[in-house]
Structure 1
């Protein structure tokens, strides 16, 4: 019992996990398509406010889609990992990339929200002057 063999995932279990991840990815893609259609079909009371809000919503949905795709990619790597060391490496790389992506996404959404607020204030000021 001096030589321990590393734990290996049985082939059947790995194949099942891969199919499950792929099915989940397809289901999510269908959800995203439906959500995009819902955003495209949304109606607002003021056209400019609607367009601005729609742009921010699309941006947020794109980020969510990107983040979920990254999670599916991680899941795919994890089910193909041969040992715990490889699992931990994939997890570490994922966390680092997601933290960087989140910082960038939050900054971008903050800028977009400020632009929407500025445009809304400008529109409200113009409407007040017209009265």
Structure 2
């Protein structure tokens, strides 16, 4: 028996363009959501119901981490939909997983430091 060579699957250009536009629309929607979250945190800071400084720092760090992770995911999706074959898809996937593991380790350290700093802060309302 003669073994057949595997057929390379190429992702059609139309499909890549459609997926690319969908990812871009999702990115714009998320950017609007993040903008609203930042405005909400800023509004809370100026109100009579101001969140304690430490809690505010933790909230900001959590939003920053989420924003970074979603941006990385959008960049990954953008690369993925532009891939021309499955070999490229697998390479992009492997690179993304590796970079996300490194990012998660760094973010865990950053969040831990922020939480430690928040726990060390005293309430700003004059009570000890």
- For Structure 1 versus Structure 2, the TM-score category normalised by the shorter chain is 0.7 to 0.9
Q: Deviations over 1:96-128 (max 9, x none)?
A: 1111111111111111111111113xx59x835
Q: 1:116 to 1:74 in 2, by over 3 A?
A: same
Any gaps of 5 or more consecutive residues in structure 1?
none
Name the residue aligned to 1:54: 56
Q: Which has the higher helix share?
A: 1
Q: CA deviation at 1:52?
A: 2.3
Q: Distance in 2 between matches of 1:19 and 1:2?
A: 37
Name the TM-score, length of structure 2 as normaliser: 0.84
Q: CA deviation at 1:2?
A: 4.7
1:37 aligns with 2:39: yes
Segments of 5+ residues of structure 2 without an aligned counterpart are none
Tell me what 1:103 maps to.
105
Which one is further off, 51-60 or 101-110? 51-60
* Alignment pair present for 1:127 and 2:127: yes
Structure 1 outlier segments of 4+, above 2 Å: 1-5, 43-47, 49-52
Quote the RMSD (CA, aligned, Å): 2.3
Q: How does 1:2-13 map to 2 (within 5 A)?
A: 2=4, 4-13=6-15
Counterpart CA distance in 2 for 1:4 and 1:110 is: 49
2:82 is aligned to 80
For 1:19, the equivalent position in structure 2 comes to: 21
Aligned residues: 124
**Greater relative contact order: 1 or 2 (C-alpha under 8 angstroms, separation 6 or more)?**
2
TM-score by length of 1: 0.82
- Identify the match of residue 92 of structure 1 among 91, 94, 100: 94
